Amino acid sequence: MDLVIATVSQGLLWALLAIGVYLTFRVLDIADLTVEGSFPLGAATAATLIVAGSHPLVAIVAACVAGMLAGVVTGILCTKFKIPALLAGILTMIALYSVNLRIMGKANLPLLQQDTIFTIWNLGMDKMMTTLVIGAVIVLVVALLNYWFFGTELGTAVRATGFNPHMIRANGINTDNMVVLGLLLSNGLVAISGALVAQSNGFADVGMGVGTIVIGLASVIIGEVLFGTRSFKNCLISVILGSIVYRAVIAIVLQMGMPPNDLKLFTAILVALALSMPLLQARWNKIRKGGR
Amino acid sequence: MLHIENISKTFNPGTITEKLALHNVSLHLAPGDFVTVIGGNGAGKSTLMNSIAGTYPVDEGRITIDGTDITKWPEHKRAKYIGRVFQDPMMGTAAGMMIEENLAIAARRGKSPTLKWSSSADSRQHFRELLMGLNLGLEDRLESKVGLLSGGQRQALTLLMATMAQPKLLLLDEHTAALDPKTAEKVLLLTDKIIKQQKLTTLMITHNMRDALKYGNRLIMMYEGHILFDIDSEKKKNLGIKDLLAMFEKAAGSELNSDSLLLS
């Protein structure tokens, strides 16, 4: 039971990362690697502020703003300077490595004995349940905000930009601004996720962003396959559930005795398989038809 | 209404693939003009259209709409005045979004998007009425994704989207070329109906000489980056395909060598 609670709450904290990756990878149709830098950026910003005595909520908001700025940098690189989005994300990610070290002043910042978002309110529950409840509340609020925003005229324009930039330009909307806005929102969410994970783990580490893009992708794809993509609302829910399922899968393979060091390899293979699924499926169907 | 003064456009200047696509083109459209544009491949029809729409900047010349100089305006800003339907049925709509969402975007063409919720009961009712005019049964499918529609349905929807916010100028870039003949004719009849209803100033490229003669009140033929001739409505009424070909040979001093133009 403890393991289930821990898995679900980890899934919730990482769900914001998954939503962020969904916003770029699916909504904007960009593979944005900024994520690998904005996740630890959120962690570093929040941890540094908490150690300096800030309220954990303030620290999370600051982390979000920092992540948004990182997203804007990538956005400007790829729209105003026409650097391919993938490369623009890599550049920001690399730059953020130094930025994160500067923010923390060292590679690892422990949050032992510090008040975090998971300890400041006494909900009369143990630490694990508190993490679950607070994680759920935050994810719910973020999901509702996303649902609202992407239903507004502006949000609809961002989504249409990813589907068909020609169409949206022909309707009078500056696609460059929409791309920047999408990257801003995405990286803001990713940074919040980093801030939450740091507080839950009890430390921020400059290396904690490695592989986050793949974790995000895994969550998005698992969610889409298992829970559907009928509408934007459906996708949002799928991605959140996908993040939880991903954590469950990880927990199960670890229980089965897989060395934790192999986790990233495992995740990468999982995502590669999932992404090649449509092609493999088409081939398979062809072979089966041919055999008849 | 639309004034194009001496615009020129060269692609890939200074390279081996340099191509002079438009050479000193001038064209004036009066309000309510419905001009059909014909010409072989590489004649500059699409370049003219894209230059007006702002897909790329022109090298020289001036474009004004109702006295406003839009030569330096980016594509998205020009959309305030211009409605467009593309040749590719995929280009004019967002396939992954609902019919309703596409219409909501088009209904606000040229206005900055706000944080208002994009659909309301009122707008839905309005969209339903507009879709009923298409006679395709789309009024009951507001929540269907556009990707599920056929090419003809998508072009009809794009046409509706391009015209629902009353553009000053409507640009149709071979918008029926990708459709089967029967569907193409339906979409063209619908186009004609909408243009007449709203008295829209229109520029329509077509590959089909018969359509070029049948629709609109003016016809221009383009050749090697310039306008070869411009036929007004009086002359156009009595013109046949043979006359057009003869005029072309006389003006260009060569035979028209575009199979697609001759065959259609």
pLDDT tens track for B51-64: 999 999 999 999 99
Domains, chain B, ranges and CATH?
2-263 (3.40.50.300)
Angle between the A35-51 and A175-201 helix axes, to the nearest 10 degrees?
Answer: 50
- A108 membership: H or E segment, kind and range: strand A108-110
B124-158 pLDDT per residue, tens: 999 999 999 888 889 999 999 999 999 999 999 99
Find, in chain B, the residue whose alpha carbon is nearest to that of A178.
Answer: B113
Contact, A95 vs A37, CB < 8 A?
A: yes
Chain B residues with CB under 8 Å of A163 CB are 94-97
Q: pLDDT confidence of B264, banded at 50, 70, 90?
A: very low
Report how far residue B8's alpha carbon sits from residue A206's, in angstroms, rounded to the nearest whole number: 55
Q: Could you tell me if A101 lies within 8 Å of chain B, comparing CB atoms?
A: no
A153, A156, A164 member nearest B93 (Cβ)? A164
Q: Could you tell me if B86 lies within 8 Å of chain A, comparing CB atoms?
A: yes
Contact, B218 vs B224, CB < 8 A?
A: no
Query: Over pLDDT 70: what percentage of chain B?
Result: 96
pLDDT confidence of residue B259: 53
Report how far residue B118's alpha carbon sits from residue B101's, in angstroms, rounded to the nearest whole number: 8
Report how far residue B163's alpha carbon sits from residue B165's, in angstroms, rounded to the nearest whole number: 6
Chain B residues with CB under 8 Å of A229 CB are none
CA torsion B137-A154-B163-B21 (nearest 10°) is -120
Chain A residues with CB under 8 Å of B84 CB are 170
B90, B95, B118 member nearest A156 (Cβ)? B118
B79, B90, B113 member nearest A169 (Cβ)? B79
Question: Mean pLDDT across the stretch B202-224?
Answer: 92
pLDDT confidence of residue B234: 81
The interface residues of chain B toward chain A in range 114-133, judged by CB-CB distance below 8 A, are 114-119
Q: Which amino acid is at B201?
A: T
Count how many Cα atoms sit within 13 Å of the Cα of residue B97 in the half-sphere of its side chain: 29
Q: Could you tell me if A290 lies within 8 Å of chain B, comparing CB atoms?
A: no
What are the CA-CA distances from residue B47 to residues A28, A223, B25, B57, B70 (Å)? 28, 44, 11, 10, 16
Closest to B103 (Cα-Cα) out of B66, B76, B75, B131 = B131
Give how far B110 is from chain A: nearest CA, Å: 4
pLDDT confidence of residue B244: 83
Chain A residues with CB under 8 Å of B119 CB are 151
A156, A169, A231 member nearest B104 (Cβ)? A156
Pairing, β B218-223 against β B34-39: parallel
How many other C-beta atoms lie within 10 A of the C-beta of residue B149? 20
Reported pTM: 0.91
What are the CA-CA distances from residue B43 to residues A184, B35, B263 (Å)? 43, 16, 17
CA torsion B81-B87-B89-B95 (nearest 10°) is -50
Chain B residues with CB under 8 Å of A146 CB are none
What phi and psi, each to the nearest 5 degrees, are found at residue B201?
-75, 125
Closest to A16 (Cα-Cα) out of A150, A137, A133 = A137
Query: Over pLDDT 90: what percentage of chain A?
Result: 85
In 3-state terms, what secondary structure has residue B145? Answer: strand
User: pLDDT averaged over chain A?
Assistant: 94
Domain coordinates in residue numbering, chain A: 2-291
Mark yes or no for CB contact B114/A152 under 8 Å.
yes
Which ipTM score applies to this complex?
A: 0.89
Report how far residue A26's alpha carbon sits from residue A53's, in angstroms, rounded to the nearest whole number: 38
Q: Could you tell me if B113 lies within 8 Å of chain A, comparing CB atoms?
A: yes
What phi and psi, each to the nearest 5 degrees, are found at residue B78?
-70, -20
Mark yes or no for CB contact A153/B93 under 8 Å.
no
Report how far residue A189's alpha carbon sits from residue A21's, in angstroms, rounded to the nearest whole number: 9
Mark yes or no for CB contact B92/A172 under 8 Å.
no
B221-254 pLDDT per residue, tens: 998 899 988 988 888 888 888 888 888 887 777 6
Closest to A3 (Cα-Cα) out of A254, A221, A203, A220 = A254
Question: Mean pLDDT across the stretch A121-142?
Answer: 90
pLDDT confidence of residue B205: 95
Chain A residues with CB under 8 Å of B111 CB are 172
In 3-state terms, what secondary structure has residue B219? Answer: strand
pLDDT confidence of residue A291: 58
Q: Does A2-291 carry CATH code 1.10.3210? A: no
Find, in chain B, the residue whose alpha carbon is nearest to that of A232.
Answer: B97
